[in-house]
Structure 1
Amino acid sequence: MDASATSPISIDAQQVQEASAELTILGAGAWGTALAKLVRKNDHTVCLWSRRGETTLANAVSGSHIILSAISMKGVSATVKQLQELNIPPETILVTATKGLDPETTRTPSQIFQDTFPDNPVVVLSGPNLSKEIEQGLPAATVAASTHPEAAEAVQYLFASDIFRVYRSLDPLGAELGGTLKNVIAIAVGVCEGLNLGSNARSALITRAMPEVIRIGTHLGGQMDTFFGLSGLGDMLATCTSSLSRNYRVGYGLAHGKPLDQILDELGSTAEGVNTANVLIQIANREEIPVPISREVYRLLNGKITPKEAVEALMERDLKAEACLLN
């Protein structure tokens, strides 16, 4: 999924610092809007595009140095196809800030972008970034990950400010998977909280979820160290401990007996962990990866088990040593 690290880019870090960059953000939801606010804080030009808006996609991306996708997973493939028809210049930096898995191909957003635009540098933006807190101007940190170091650095300086610290990484897939897989775990933690199981249970669940996420992520090509960073453990902690997290609220609602459709209706926005859980089980079955926590979340979301039964199933697993991180 690598673009050549030596291929040209439309704007580099020094140019970002010295002049106004032209950025198009695809997706005018809470996340896209929060990211636009960060970029405007640095005096760069932002076009915020929505499928429901009046501006055409062609006009929105025309002349952009950087195109960032903040749309939900269900819209990624269709939007990428539209972009492909617009003959995007190969030096344009493509950034994905979507956390999910494609139900048809089981690919991540960055894999979809890189497969479609093999000559363009692709950057993943991922971290513990609850959009409501960013919108409020509260401090946060994230990771810009790419196999194209210069593109990652340009994105780093595009967003970095006194309230938003941006780190670089050479592991886009690991950064992306960390942010994607923790959404499933957040649903499980929401159930734990909704059932009032206490701090001990929540701590144990999050701790045991880490080996599961690492096991999946490294099997699929991510680097282990990445999962202990901001886009892995950091994102998991934020999403699993805040009621601002949509996925946490899904689990919490299920624990209180609400139907899934009602919960999603009340959220009014996408909880990516629901789709991710279904796709993840496809991958786990295909690759024979043990995913006990994610599997119970999958069963719960699909009405095969109650929240109480899900907890009981996890507590009744065979006893084992904790010595191996990936057990």
Structure 2
Amino acid sequence: MNQVAVIGAGSWGTALAMVLADNQHEVRLWSHRQDQVDEINQERMNKKYLPEINLPNQLTAYADLQSAVQNAEAILLVVPTKAIREVCRQIRPFLNSNQIIIHASKGIEPETHKRISEMIIDEVGHQAQNQVVVLSGPSHAEEVALRQPTTVTVSAHHMSSAEFTQDLFMNENFRVYTNNDVVGVEIGGALKNIIALGAGISDGLGYGDNAKAALITRGLAEIARLGTSLNANPLTFAGLTGVGDLIVTCTSQHSRNYRAGHMLGKGYVLDDVLDQMGMVVEGVRTTKAAYQLSQKMDIAMPITEGLYELLFHEKEPKKVVDELMRRGKTQELEDLSSFL
């Protein structure tokens, strides 16, 4: 049995805390809201994020960050990308040299264009590089909380850290693979949210399965093109954190990025969409970061560019789609060379 601190009591953080509790670990789930902590500890529920789900007794909620992380063997960060740096600054004084730091967030930081593991290392120190682990893959919190079969990948620069994390999480409902391609795992997990926004927009506009299939396929090519330019292994994008995560995020009502895109396709403005969602839509921030990075590296990412214009310059969704369809001729196998 291990002591594990889970930082972030949203739907995904709570679902992963349940997996850990099912594996008989002592789980400390941190929230910045005292009322949420009281609800979890007293009623064994997190009604806002996972209604009607009863939480295991091995899970205890904390409002005090020091109490949650101090002396824990592993710390799992499940907070929005924009909060990663601040949370890491807050926990840094309580860390020790033996703790594994796992993150299950998906995004890229605008302006710096850094991946989440890079942001963590910036804030807690480069000595922690071999202890940082990424957990990613096709996984809706709602299904994980119901203990439905789910498979994910964990990745780290030091494979012993990945294997420790694999053992921490793996059970009969939650299968975990290891992968040493940290760049590919993080890029795939982040950029699929951009394509999920596009899939939602396509459905919101009333286009059919043909359009969405094309969008997902061409989106995967964009993800691989950027990822391999950053030295990711192209095979990663054919795996769970590439095509697997892309499929589940682009085709399910559980996906907040898909739902946000669907509302945009129906004509809602971005601010209203974000207000109604009530949770962070990582794809919006990641679109900005990926667009900036593609411009900096001179990499063609037409879907990302079109969504950037839609989100940040109020371009009409139908016009974005029309311009994508009118792009010049190209040869598909040449365009898929990222996978070779």
Query: Under a length normalisation based on structure 1, what TM-score does the superposition of the two structures give?
Result: 0.91
- Structure 1: which 5+ residue stretches go unaligned? 1-19
1:78 and 2:89 aligned: no
Q: How many residues align?
A: 307
- Structure 2: which 5+ residue stretches go unaligned? 35-61
1:129 and 2:139 aligned: yes
Aligned to 2:66: 58
Q: Secondary structure at the match of 1:125?
A: strand
Q: Secondary structure at the match of 2:328?
A: coil
For 1:82 and 1:105, the matched residues in 2 are separated by 21
For 1:64 and 1:29, the matched residues in 2 are separated by 20
1:227-280 CA-to-partner distances (Å, cap 9, x unmatched) read 111011100000001011011111100111111111111111011000000111
1:1-327 matches, within 5 Å, as 20-53=1-34, 55-86=63-94, 88-115=95-122, 116-120=124-128, 121-324=131-334, 325-326=336-337
Amino acid at match of 2:29: L
For 1:250 and 1:197, the matched residues in 2 are separated by 16
1:58-106 CA-to-partner distances (Å, cap 9, x unmatched) read 11101100001000011001111112233x1121101011101122422
For 2:93 and 2:72, the matched residues in 1 are separated by 16
Greater relative contact order (CA < 8 Å, ≥ 6 in sequence): 1
1:34-69 CA-to-partner distances (Å, cap 9, x unmatched) read 000111111111000122346321111011000010
For 2:108 and 2:65, the matched residues in 1 are separated by 23
Amino acid at match of 1:273: G
Contact 2:111-2:292 at 8 Å conserved across structures: no
Contact 1:214-1:326 at 8 Å conserved across structures: no
Amino acid at match of 1:63: N
Q: 1:209, CA displacement in angstroms?
A: 1.1
1:192-218 CA-to-partner distances (Å, cap 9, x unmatched) read 111121111111111111110001111
Identify the range of structure 1 (230-239 vs 107-116) with the bigger mean alpha-carbon deviation. 107-116
Aligned to 2:54: none
1:89-148 CA-to-partner distances (Å, cap 9, x unmatched) read 121101011101122422111111223332221100000011111112211100010111
Structure with higher helix content: 2
Q: Secondary structure at the match of 1:200?
A: helix
For 1:295 and 1:304, the matched residues in 2 are separated by 13
Q: Secondary structure at the match of 2:126?
A: coil
Amino acid at match of 2:100: I
For 2:205 and 2:162, the matched residues in 1 are separated by 42
Q: Percent identity?
A: 39
Q: Secondary structure at the match of 1:244?
A: coil
Amino acid at match of 1:193: D
Q: Secondary structure at the match of 1:302?
A: helix
Identify the range of structure 1 (107-116 vs 136-145) with the bigger mean alpha-carbon deviation. 107-116
